[in-house]
A and B are shown apart, each in its own frame.
Chain A
Amino acid sequence: MPRKALARALLTGAALLALGGAASADEQYFPLQSYRVGPYAAGGTGFFGGFIDYLTLINSRDGGVNGVKLTWSEGETQYEVERGVEVYERLKSRPGIAAWNPLSVGIAYAMIDRITADKVPLITINHGRTDSTDGRVFPFVFPLLLNPYSETSGIVEYLATREGGLDKLKGKTIAVLYHGSPYGKETIPIYEQLAKQHGFKVEQIEVPHPGNEQQSQWLTIRRLRPDYVVLRGWGVMNPVALKTAQKTGFPASRIVGNVWSNSEEDVIPAGDAAKGYVAITTQASGTQYPVIQEIVRGVYETGAGNLADKKRIGSVYHNLGVLNGILNVEAVRIAQEKFGRRTLTGDEVRWGFEHLRLDEARVAKLGAKGLFHSINVTCANHEGEGRVTFQQWDGAKWSVVSDWIKPDWAALRPIIEASSTAYAKERGLTPRDCEAEERVGDTGKRASAEGK
């Protein structure tokens, strides 16, 4: 080979190597345990579609986060725990993993030990273990915005606003219709406690999985004559509850759904029986928010949108996915400010999540004013004091019918700490000293050193 050609080849090779190195160094990767087929595909396509749409927007509009390109790949789980774990094992060795976002209680539970050992954050937005709110015991788990207990408190606060104050709940009867699963049963003790605290009567009624037959539960409710029914459902249980309520003469406007009973997929199959039904949410639905408009213009109009059906843009699950994207991206951005504008390790991104503080001004700057309120995550509080609002279904769309409501976090914290302390004791864990970590800043230094 002539010398010149050899030199050119070597130079090209060196340049390619450098480019390759730079490309992998400037990418932050999101492994997605999505579910686009199977019984829960409607929710999965909406959520993961929204998440991917936001990552696409950040890449196309901003060139990534401070120049670090966001990448992702999907592994199909069909919402099954074994498949979710298999996808985790398959993708966990990819470089530059920012965080895991399975949107599945079962898969999240199965991953806690794994992600803790691998030091990568696990995001369980609006769901997951309540006690994982305590970041001292669960350093890598983030039930962002809402855990089951604060959801319960938020619902009770909302019912109080409908009655004219918490004191007006005294003597009222609230029936809780819950899914017969660990998820459904998780809030039983907190409803009992809040009932005692505020003087209302609570009747908790189980619906066996999958919930496609509820005649006897609603007849029981008819006999109880409660003031409100809280629906803590999942999947087919939700529309069946609304239809059976109609059949037994209970008004939909007195049924309040929890965060997994709040989507279009929960009400559309119920037809007219769902008109007037109210449900809690951490993010409003609709396309009027600037960030959603940007996704429409910058992503869908260029043919890069993830949803097959554009009519689903702005739906509950799609907006939840977008919001999840915002929180993940902002955690990466915050971590970059400390560790440098480069690919971060999972532990560094964990630090970013633990400093994820988006006040109303920052939320507005992100184009999400009205979409969600704010978040304030700390080392000890991995939920981040998310506020909730309530939407009512009019037969065609959801409309917000309440202010942003604050759950009673102060009352919930001791219960959460009691549970996390018991977990730590059972597993032989020593809870972190968050104050000391913040003071010394050793977490950042350690993570930074590992990153290098």
Chain B
Amino acid sequence: MSPDLAFLVEVVVGGLLSGVMYALVAIGFVLIYKTSGVLNFAQGAMVLFAALTFVSLIERGLPFPAALAATLAVMVVVGLTIERAVLRPLVNQPPITLFMATLGVAYVIEGAAQLAWGTQVHALDLGIDDTPFDVAGVLVSRFDLFAAALAGLMVALLTLFFRFTRTGLAFRAVAEDPLAALNAGLRLPRIWSAVWIASGIVALVAGLLWGARLGVQFSLSLVVLKALPVLVLGGFDSIAGAIVAGLIVGAAEKLAEVYLGPFIGGGIEGWIAYVAALAFLLIKPSGLFGQRSVERV
């Protein structure tokens, strides 16, 4: 393989693997939006809280499995508390009210995390070597491959859950038509609770992987900025869309930065994904895989 081609492949592979990490965060948004129509701005804060709780427990001497189980329990409680204390009392309020409520929740979680665990930064070692290996002149990160495999596993589990379990089918029914689901006897509050718990678990997985990548510190909550163009592109209510859009955004922003950046000043990675997402929005407002809303008038 020529050096230029190897470099191109490396850029694309690196971008795709980064895209998987973006998709991991985006899936947390999708789960909530799909079943309750709420854009959960607190997802980034939940990612931070999960990672900070886990690393703080490890630093206090808990073994890895115990810390993981305890953090899982904490995230279940966090998810349930948000749903019960904030969103359930606001049922039937306009979407903007619900969005603002999650914005408030994000600040409360960040403040609570600092109160509980302090303001220091932490290293998070998941025991996965991050030295690259060479495949025909292309360096591939072991850690990123592991993260991609874990994300793939999580998507597979979620797909099985949605297809073959009663609760999963109920999720889909609620996502399709909440009123019809209610008429059919589904208990919406229970489903909302379950989906917030699931979102807390996704936040834990994303928090561990992103925490190992960036270190556990308060800017971890900013990873949501990477998930937003993915959501716009993939659709807010499609897990498959989040994955595919994550891959597209990851590869596109890396290619743009490396090949286009030098001609227009560099540092374009931060906004080029939004440009792509906005352009796509003009063509297909519901995103790649999002459901187009059709209303009878």
Say whether A and B bind each other. yes
Query: Is B79 located at the chain interface by the 8 A CB criterion?
Result: no
Query: Is B95 located at the chain interface by the 8 A CB criterion?
Result: no
B66-74, B149-157, B263-271, B286-294: which lies at the interface? B263-271
In the complex, which residues of chain B have a beta carbon less than 8 angstroms from the beta carbon of A223?
Answer: 7
User: Contact flags (1/0) for B105-121 with A, using CB distance below 8 Å?
Assistant: 00000010010001111
Query: Is B15 located at the chain interface by the 8 A CB criterion?
Result: yes
**What's the dominant secondary structure at chain B's contact region?**
helix
In the complex, which residues of chain B have a beta carbon less than 8 angstroms from the beta carbon of A209?
Answer: 270
A42 and B118 CA atoms in complex are apart in Å by: 9
In the complex, which residues of chain B have a beta carbon less than 8 angstroms from the beta carbon of A45?
Answer: 119
In the complex, which residues of chain A have a beta carbon less than 8 angstroms from the beta carbon of B132?
Answer: 247-249
Query: Is B207 located at the chain interface by the 8 A CB criterion?
Result: no
Q: Is B258 a contact partner of A220 (Cβ separation < 8 A)?
A: yes
Query: Is B201 located at the chain interface by the 8 A CB criterion?
Result: no
Given A208-B268, A219-B258, A246-B130: 16 more A-B contacts, CB < 8 Å: A42-B121, A180-B267, A212-B214, A212-B222, A212-B226, A213-B269, A215-B14, A215-B15, A216-B14, A216-B257, A216-B258, A235-B217, A236-B214, A236-B220, A239-B121, A239-B215
In the complex, which residues of chain B have a beta carbon less than 8 angstroms from the beta carbon of A210?
Answer: 219, 222
In the complex, which residues of chain B have a beta carbon less than 8 angstroms from the beta carbon of A205?
Answer: 266
Q: Is B122 a contact partner of A268 (Cβ separation < 8 A)?
A: yes
In the complex, which residues of chain B have a beta carbon less than 8 angstroms from the beta carbon of A271?
Answer: 123, 125
A273 and B212 CA atoms in complex are apart in Å by: 12
Q: Is A249 a contact partner of B139 (Cβ separation < 8 A)?
A: yes
Query: Is B216 located at the chain interface by the 8 A CB criterion?
Result: yes
Between B114, B120, B213, B215, the greatest number of chain A beta carbons within 10 A of the residue's beta carbon is seen for: B215
A31-39, A335-343, A380-388: which lies at the interface? A31-39
- Give A172-219 interface residues, CB cut-off 8 Å to B: 180, 205-210, 212-213, 215-217, 219
Between A39, A213, A249, A268, the greatest number of chain B beta carbons within 10 A of the residue's beta carbon is seen for: A213
In the complex, which residues of chain A have a beta carbon less than 8 angstroms from the beta carbon of B222?
Answer: 210, 212, 236
In the complex, which residues of chain A have a beta carbon less than 8 angstroms from the beta carbon of B111?
Answer: 37
Q: Is A247 a contact partner of B143 (Cβ separation < 8 A)?
A: yes
What is the number of residues of chain B that contact chain A, defined by CB distance less than 8 Å? 46
In the complex, which residues of chain B have a beta carbon less than 8 angstroms from the beta carbon of A248?
Answer: 132, 139
A215-B254, A219-B7, A243-B130 known; A208 and B271 CB under 8 Å? yes
- B130: which of A38, A213, A239, A273 is its contact (CB, 8 Å)? A273
What is the number of residues of chain A that contact chain B, defined by CB distance less than 8 Å? 40
In the complex, which residues of chain B have a beta carbon less than 8 angstroms from the beta carbon of A42?
Answer: 119-121, 217
Q: Is A39 a contact partner of B266 (Cβ separation < 8 A)?
A: no
Q: Is B139 a contact partner of A236 (Cβ separation < 8 A)?
A: no
Distance in Å: Cβ of A74 to nearest Cβ of chain B: 15
Query: Is A269 located at the chain interface by the 8 A CB criterion?
Result: yes
Between A205, A215, A239, the greatest number of chain B beta carbons within 10 A of the residue's beta carbon is seen for: A215
A38-B218, A212-B226, A217-B257 known; A240 and B10 CB under 8 Å? no
Distance in Å: Cβ of A226 to nearest Cβ of chain B: 15
Interface residues of A (CB under 8 A from B): 36-39, 41-42, 45, 180, 205-210, 212-213, 215-217, 219-220, 222-223, 235-236, 239-240, 243, 246-249, 265, 268-271, 273, 308-309
- Give B123-150 interface residues, CB cut-off 8 Å to A: 123-125, 130-132, 139, 141, 143-144
- Enumerate 6 A-B pairs (CB-CB under 8 Å) in ascending A order: A39-B218, A42-B119, A180-B267, A222-B139, A243-B213, A246-B131
- A309: which of B120, B215, B261 is its contact (CB, 8 Å)? B120
A222 and B268 CA atoms in complex are apart in Å by: 19
Q: Is B123 a contact partner of A247 (Cβ separation < 8 A)?
A: no
In the complex, which residues of chain A have a beta carbon less than 8 angstroms from the beta carbon of B219?
Answer: 39, 210, 212, 235-236
In the complex, which residues of chain B have a beta carbon less than 8 angstroms from the beta carbon of A219?
Answer: 7, 10-11, 14, 254, 258
Q: Is A269 a contact partner of B139 (Cβ separation < 8 A)?
A: no
Q: Is A269 a contact partner of B215 (Cβ separation < 8 A)?
A: yes
In the complex, which residues of chain A have a beta carbon less than 8 angstroms from the beta carbon of B24?
Answer: none
Q: Is B139 a contact partner of A207 (Cβ separation < 8 A)?
A: no
Distance in Å: Cβ of A131 to nearest Cβ of chain B: 24
Query: Is B202 located at the chain interface by the 8 A CB criterion?
Result: no
- A-B pairs with lowest CB-CB distance, top 4: A269-B215, A208-B270, A206-B267, A41-B119
User: Contact flags (1/0) for B1-33 with A, using CB distance below 8 Å?
Assistant: 000000100110011001000000000000000
In the complex, which residues of chain A have a beta carbon less than 8 angstroms from the beta carbon of B268?
Answer: 208
Distance in Å: Cβ of B45 to nearest Cβ of chain A: 12
Q: Is A41 a contact partner of B114 (Cβ separation < 8 A)?
A: yes
Closest to B254 in A: A216
Q: Is A36 a contact partner of B119 (Cβ separation < 8 A)?
A: yes
A210 and B210 CA atoms in complex are apart in Å by: 14
Q: Is B121 a contact partner of A265 (Cβ separation < 8 A)?
A: yes
A36 and B111 CA atoms in complex are apart in Å by: 11
User: Contact flags (1/0) for B252-279 with A, using CB distance below 8 Å?
Assistant: 0110011001000111111100000000
In the complex, which residues of chain A have a beta carbon less than 8 angstroms from the beta carbon of B114?
Answer: 37, 41
Q: Is B213 a contact partner of A268 (Cβ separation < 8 A)?
A: no
Distance in Å: Cβ of B270 to nearest Cβ of chain A: 3
In the complex, which residues of chain B have a beta carbon less than 8 angstroms from the beta carbon of A37?
Answer: 111, 114, 119
Query: Is B223 located at the chain interface by the 8 A CB criterion?
Result: yes
Closest to B114 in A: A37
Q: Is B270 a contact partner of A269 (Cβ separation < 8 A)?
A: no
Q: Is A216 a contact partner of B253 (Cβ separation < 8 A)?
A: yes
A210-B222, A236-B219 known; A216 and B213 CB under 8 Å? no
Closest to A179 in B: B267
Distance in Å: Cβ of A419 to nearest Cβ of chain B: 22
Distance in Å: Cβ of B5 to nearest Cβ of chain A: 13
In the complex, which residues of chain B have a beta carbon less than 8 angstroms from the beta carbon of A268?
Answer: 121-123, 215
Distance in Å: Cβ of B218 to nearest Cβ of chain A: 4
Closest to A248 in B: B139
A173 and B118 CA atoms in complex are apart in Å by: 41
Distance in Å: Cβ of B222 to nearest Cβ of chain A: 5
A68 and B132 CA atoms in complex are apart in Å by: 60
A240 and B215 CA atoms in complex are apart in Å by: 8
In the complex, which residues of chain A have a beta carbon less than 8 angstroms from the beta carbon of B124?
Answer: 269
Q: Is B125 a contact partner of A269 (Cβ separation < 8 A)?
A: no
A415 and B111 CA atoms in complex are apart in Å by: 44
Q: Is B258 a contact partner of A269 (Cβ separation < 8 A)?
A: no
